[in-house]
Structures are given as C-alpha cells and as structure tokens.
C-alpha cells in the first residue's frame, strides 16, 4: 500500500527521506472493497443520517455533520436487543455486506441491526470533500470522537424508536472495527452490554514488529515450504533484474503492469502488501474482497508458483515468472484484468487517507521483517522516519503511548476490570499478532479460531467453514444470551 493517495501526495518527499530498508508505511487493516460482481445486500442500502457534533470533547467548535448509518428492523421486536456494528475505516455498506454473522443470528434474538459509519469515511465526512485538506479539519478524526458518535447515535435510536428505550445493545466489529467494539464496551459499559471484537489488534502498537511478517510466512509455509523458498529468493531476483539495463521495463512487462515501474521498491512493496492481504483473506471459500479470489488463496498462489519444476537453478527470470503466476491468483483470478496497477490494492482513496492519518496519530503499528524467520527482505522499523513522514503529510506526530493510556493493554492483566468482551482471533490472521490471545478475566474470553483468517467468524455461515468457527459462533451466541439477560 505504498502508493495510496497520501503516499502519492508526499511521494517525492518519502523517496528522498526514507531508504528502502526502513518500513514506514502504515499497514491497512481493512481488506474490504466494493467488488463489481459481488451480490450486495439490499438491507445495507437503506441509509439514514444522524446529526453529530464534530467535536464532542470541546465546546468551541459547534460544527455538526451528518453521520450515515443503516438500521434494519426486519427481525426486531419491541424491547429486544440492538446489534450495533462499530464501523471502521471505510464505507459502512462494505462492512454491512461482509458481516453476515450479525444477520445470521439477528433472528435468534429478534434483534435490530445497525451499522454505523465511522466519521471521515464513506460519506460521513465532517467537512465534505475538504475533510482531509488541513489540520483544522482532520483534527477530529480520532477513535475517541468516533466512540462518542456511536454513543450519541445509540442514545438517539433508543429515545426515538418506541420499544427500544430498554433494548440492550451488543456491539460487533472486525479489525479496527473490532478494536472500536472492544473500546466501546470498555469506555461505555453503560451504553453497550457486551462486545464481539473480532481480529482486533488492540496490542499491535507494541507487538514485536516482525510478528506480522512471521504469521504471513507461516500461512504460506503450511501450504508449501517450497513456495516460501521461491518467494524468499524472489526479492534478490527482482533486485538483480532491476539493476540490469532495461530491467525495470522487463519487470513491468513480466508483471503486466499498466504503468512502467519507477523503482524496484515500488514492485516489492506492492508484492509485500499482496502477501499480507492473501494471508488476511485466506478463507476456505471463494470471496470477493480485494478481488475475486478462490478458496484458500495462499494454497492456490503456492500451487501456481510451484506448478512447474525449476527449469534452471538460480534463474532469476524463472523465479519472477513463478511469482507472476502467483499474483494472477490475487489480482486476476477471473482473467478479466489486462494489466495491474501497483498503486491500487483496494479501497477507495478516502479510506486510505483516513487510515494514514489514524496510523500517524493514535495507531502506529510497527512493521518489519528480519529476512530469516520470514520470507521477506530484511526491513527495519524506523519510528523516526515514520514520524517525519507523518509530520510532512499531516502536520501531526504519533503518540505511541496514547492507546494504552486511554484503553489499557500496556500490562494486559490491567484489562481485567473490563467485562463482556469476546476477543476472537484466527491463527491464519497476521493481525492476530496484535490480538488479545490470553483470557485475563472470565468475562473477557480470548477465543482462537483455528483455521481462521481475518475475522472469519464475523462472516456469514458457509458450508466450507471449519468446525472451529462454528463452535466459536455458538460460543458468541451463548455469551450474548448471558450479556442481555
């Protein structure tokens, strides 16, 4: 995701400031996008808006904005629960479309289903198209403001819908939305009775920076050790081809890129993101997130990469051709793509802008690779370079300590006073590196989804689901029953 819009904005600057061996990119948690041929749920097209204060924490700025949300009462009965999705970094209908679990279990509970869009994403832009134009506008993009939005929205729903006044509310979320679901229950237990926080990397800010890369590597390793060897050797192959005369043109042609490469780093970062994304969406059935993908995309990727025997030992071009065969799985499984854009892996630009800002302020998630225990080139984490990039791009610098001051987790046992939060993490999910994977209190169960990629448990039931995720969903249903009783 090196080439998101914000990186385009400060691209030259970044090129000047940062060596290729320093990791300064914010990693995107959200891997959803609108896919053209995805069947979209009509229940997610019924938008409402609610007038929110832009600044909940002060009284000087009296501006308001329209927060978008969806509200469905198909299954709801008066007094029965509200299921509330704490929207994360993207259009709310994306999450509404891809959180089938809530829809699956709503009839069991006669529940109302609400999906709330996060401020500064989708159409919930406090200052319209200018929302990202200057620090005076971006300053209200924080998790705390978003949580206050959710509290106000729920207060409004409860007081305006007859029969909802006493409806207990359960909050759900995946990825950053899972962090918000957990934080919402932590900070507003008088508003939500419990939370299902799926694949929520609430500890990612201090997790060893190589953890993410290691899990990605493990996912490919379990499919094919040979595949991992080829990926590991591909970086050198790319480097050697790139420095040869006409090498970048050759690489651009091999990868069928729409625009010629400006550097080998451009290609390598695009590939790096792809590996992370494949690990995140390594679901046991075909999906349509970043692109239309087969079931077990890591397996198919590796099958493509290892399909033919090595023609020549140490043939750089052969290695690269194998990787190209792999990328076709991720970027062109349907065969409809003529060329690939290294500047695009998914979501609309505003979503990326927002996450760039948030990872430059509250949620710095250090990333690196050691090149030994993972299949990547060695890349160090350079906080200072990252911070400098943030200041150049947004006129802000990260505050590393803040999430732990505000929400806890510096010492995980200190979280024991929170309650009614189910933390679920899949062992295939690289973001599980920052998940809460120890149960620190009986009412804060940490649940492992064996065979689960990024918030698999939040997705709609599927015949191909592993037994573990069925059990986890039953567990969540049982927990909700205790929370609302």
Which position among 418, 426, 432, 452 is part of the footprint of a second copy (CB under 8 A)?
Answer: 418
Q: How far apart are CA 168 and CA 191, in angstroms?
A: 8
Q: Which two tokens stand for residue 132?
A: 């990202």
Partnered with residue 218 across adjacent β-strands are: none
Cβ proximity to a second copy, 190 vs 463, nearer residue:
190
* Residues in 122-141 that interact with a second copy by CB under 8 A: 135-136, 138-140
Q: Is 429 a catalytic residue?
A: yes
* 142: contact with a second copy by CB under 8 A: yes
List the Cα angle 373/375/376 in 5-degree steps. 105
Query: HSE-up of 395 (CA within 13 Å, CB side)?
Result: 8
Q: Is 454 a catalytic residue?
A: yes
- Find all residues with CB under 8 Å of 279, minimum gap 6, and list them: 215, 216, 219, 220, 298, 428, 429, 430, 453
Which position among 1, 44, 157, 193 is part of the footprint of a second copy (CB under 8 A)?
Answer: 193
Q: Is 418 helix (H, G, I), strand (E, B) or coil?
A: coil
* Residues in 222-281 that interact with a second copy by CB under 8 A: none
Phi-psi region of 2 (alpha: psi -120 to 50; beta: other; left: phi over 0): alpha
Cβ proximity to a second copy, 99 vs 143, nearer residue:
143
* 409: contact with a second copy by CB under 8 A: yes
* 437: contact with a second copy by CB under 8 A: no
Which position among 63, 315, 341, 401 is part of the footprint of a second copy (CB under 8 A)?
Answer: 401
Which position among 45, 48, 259, 399 is part of the footprint of a second copy (CB under 8 A)?
Answer: 399
Which position among 12, 16, 39, 60 is part of the footprint of a second copy (CB under 8 A)?
Answer: 60
* 397: contact with a second copy by CB under 8 A: yes
* 52: contact with a second copy by CB under 8 A: no
Shortest Cβ distance from residue 135 to a second copy (Å)? Answer: 5
Cβ proximity to a second copy, 428 vs 444, nearer residue:
444
Q: Are strands 64-72 and 47-53 parallel, antiparallel or unpaired?
A: antiparallel
Which position among 187, 232, 459, 473 is part of the footprint of a second copy (CB under 8 A)?
Answer: 187
H and E: helices and strands count for the chain: 17, 12
List the Cα angle 182/186/189 in 5-degree steps. 115
Residues in the chain: 485
* 67: contact with a second copy by CB under 8 A: no
Residue 405 backbone phi and psi in degrees, to 5: -65, -45
Cβ proximity to a second copy, 4 vs 361, nearer residue:
361
DSSP 240-304: HHHHSTTHHHHHHHHTTBSS--S-HHHHHHHHHHHHHHHHHT--SS-EESSSEE-SSHHHHHHHH
Cβ proximity to a second copy, 103 vs 363, nearer residue:
363
* 63: contact with a second copy by CB under 8 A: no
Number of residues that bind a second copy (CB under 8 A): 44
Q: Can you tell me which residue has the tokens 């508003």?
A: 191
Shortest Cβ distance from residue 410 to a second copy (Å)? Answer: 8
The residue annotated as part of the active site, out of 265, 352, 382, 429, is 429
Cβ proximity to a second copy, 136 vs 341, nearer residue:
136
Residue 19 backbone phi and psi in degrees, to 5: -75, 160
Q: Is 361 a catalytic residue?
A: no
Q: How far apart are CA 307 and CA 430, in angstroms?
A: 26
Shortest Cβ distance from residue 348 to a second copy (Å)? Answer: 24
- Residues in contact with a second copy, shown as a per-residue x/- string from 348 to 387 under the rule CB under 8 A: -------------x--------------------------
Spatial contact of 360 and 400, defined as CB atoms under 8 Å apart: no
Residues that bind a second copy (CB under 8 A): 53, 56-60, 62, 135-136, 138-140, 142, 144-145, 148, 151-152, 155, 187-191, 193, 361, 395-397, 399, 401-402, 405-410, 414-415, 417-420
Catalytic residues: 175, 429, 454
């Amino acid at each position: 995701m090196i080439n998101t819009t914000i990186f385009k904005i400060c691209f030259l600057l970044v090129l000047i400031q940062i060596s290729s061996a320093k990791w300064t990119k914010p990693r995107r948690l959200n891997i959803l996008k609108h896919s053209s041929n995805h069947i979209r749920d009509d229940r997610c097209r019924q938008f409402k808006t609610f007038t929110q204060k832009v600044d909940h924490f002060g009284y000087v700025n009296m501006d308001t904005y329209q927060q978008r949300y969806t509200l469905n009462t198909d299954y709801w009965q008066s007094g029965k629960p509200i299921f509330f999705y704490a929207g994360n970094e993207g259009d709310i209908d994306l999450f509404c479309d891809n959180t089938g679990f809530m829809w699956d279990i709503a009839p069991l509970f006669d529940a109302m289903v609400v999906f709330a869009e996060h401020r500064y994403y989708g159409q919930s832009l406090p200052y319209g198209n200018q929302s990202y134009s200057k620090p005076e506008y971006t300053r209200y993009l924080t998790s705390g403001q978003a949580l206050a939005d959710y509290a106000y929205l729920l207060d409004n729903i409860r007081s305006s819908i007859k029969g909802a006044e006493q409806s207990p509310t359960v909050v759900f979320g995946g990825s950053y939305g899972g962090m918000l679901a957990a934080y919402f229950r932590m900070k507003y237990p008088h508003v939500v009775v419990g939370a299902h926080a799926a694949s929520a990397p609430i500890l990612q800010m201090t997790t060893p920076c190589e953890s993410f890369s290691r899990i990605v590597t493990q996912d490919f390793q379990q499919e094919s050790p040979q595949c991992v060897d080829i990926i590991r050797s591909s970086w050198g192959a790319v480097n050697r081809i790139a420095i040869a005369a006409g090498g970048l043109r050759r690489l651009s042609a091999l990868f069928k890129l729409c625009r010629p490469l400006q550097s080998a780093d451009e290609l390598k970062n695009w590939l790096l993101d792809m590996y992370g994304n494949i690990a995140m969406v390594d679901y046991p059935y075909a999906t349509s997130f970043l692109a239309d993908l087969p079931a077990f995309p890591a397996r198919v990727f590796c099958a493509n990469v290892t399909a033919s025997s090595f023609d020549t030992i140490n043939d750089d071009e052969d290695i690269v051709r194998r990787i190209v065969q792999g990328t076709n799985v991720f970027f062109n499984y349907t065969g409809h793509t003529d060329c690939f854009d290294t500047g695009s892996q998914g979501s609309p630009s505003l979503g990326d802008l927002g996450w760039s800002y948030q990872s430059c302020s509250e949620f710095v998630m250090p990333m690196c690779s050691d090149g030994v225990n993972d299949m990547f080139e060695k890349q160090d984490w350079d906080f200072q370079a990252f911070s400098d990039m943030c200041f150049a791009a947004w006129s802000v610098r990260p505050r590393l300590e803040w999430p732990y001051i505000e929400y806890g987790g510096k010492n995980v046992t200190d979280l024991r006073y929170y309650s009614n939060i189910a933390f679920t993490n899949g062992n295939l999910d690289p973001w599980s590196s920052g998940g809460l994977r120890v149960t620190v209190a009986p009412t804060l169960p940490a649940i492992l989804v064996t065979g689960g990629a990024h918030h698999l448990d939040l997705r709609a039931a599927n015949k191909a689901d592993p037994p573990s995720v069925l059990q986890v969903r039953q567990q969540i249903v049982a927990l909700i029953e205790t929370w609302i009783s």
